[in-house]
Amino acid sequence: MGELFSGIGEIISAFASGSSWEISQALNLPAAWVVGLVILLAGGFLVMGLYRASPFIERHLEGYVMVISYLTIGGIIFFGVIQRFVPGMLGLDFSTTPDWLKPWPWTTTLPPFLFLVMTWVGCSYNVKLRTHLAFSEFRTNMPRTGQMFMLTVDALLWIGFSWVVIVTGSRVVANAADNFQIVPGTNDLMQWWFILAVPVSFIFLVARVLENWFEDVRNFRSGDAIIKQAVIGGDT
């Protein structure tokens, strides 16, 4: 137990120092799992409180991030295609092609990182819509107690998955920062800025899980329908 508390102290000290190397080393300690669980649950409840305080953020946050990421990816790819083919169609060589029409080296490397952001934020959004781990057709035929039990298992599974991701993902973020990994084709765009979206997204995902579970408890106690048909691409 003393070693565990010592490890927690080392992690806190590493983050206070701001050194990516110290943070990277500290996150490899077993105590990182305890700190990760605390951050995950505390962050989930804080985000859930933010959603309750601002219905606009609750309804639109993930959607805006996904749409902006998607449009940025599409714009980069579209303009990259123009840069690759239009000069040839106009009969221009490298020396006569304007700089803005010359291919940028990051047009093929930045979109995957933006896709990373869009994917995991989208995962949180679909948990909100209950289109993950639903099995509605099967569960609606179960008794109410069984339905509530399965929904509780779902919540625990999501929290467990998120716990693993936030700890291991934070290690990847720290290692990327410690090694000064930049997005290929850029000069100073750091990879960890984008990789950080993974553990952060799972904190938002846990907030959605907690929201859904508390709603399920209220429905169970009031006698309302617990399980409703989820629609992919729908809204709540």
* DSSP string for 132-171: SS--HHHHTTS-HHHHHHHHHHHHHHHHHHHHHHHHHHHH
State the total domains in the chain.
1
- Please name which of 226, 208, 218, 225 lies closest in space to residue 151, comparing C-alpha atoms: 226
Give me the pLDDT at residue 231, please.
60
Cβ 210 vs Cβ 128: under 8 Å: no
Give me the pLDDT at residue 18, please.
86
Note the pLDDT tens digit of each residue in 138-159: 777 888 898 899 899 999 999 9
How many angstroms separate the CA atoms of 188 and 180, rounded?
A: 9
* Prediction pTM value: 0.87
> Has residue 229 been placed in a domain?
no
- Please name which of 133, 126, 116 lies closest in space to residue 62, comparing C-alpha atoms: 126
Give me the pLDDT at residue 102, please.
76
For residue 51, list its beta bridge partners: none
> Has residue 232 been placed in a domain?
no
> Has residue 122 been placed in a domain?
yes
Residue 170: count other Cβ atoms within 10 Å of its Cβ: 22
> Has residue 48 been placed in a domain?
yes
Give me the pLDDT at residue 202, please.
96
- The ranges of the chain with pLDDT < 70 are 93-96, 100, 133-134, 229-236
> Has residue 76 been placed in a domain?
yes
> Has residue 231 been placed in a domain?
no
> Has residue 234 been placed in a domain?
no
- Please name which of 38, 45, 41, 196 lies closest in space to residue 117, comparing C-alpha atoms: 196
Give me the pLDDT at residue 133, please.
65
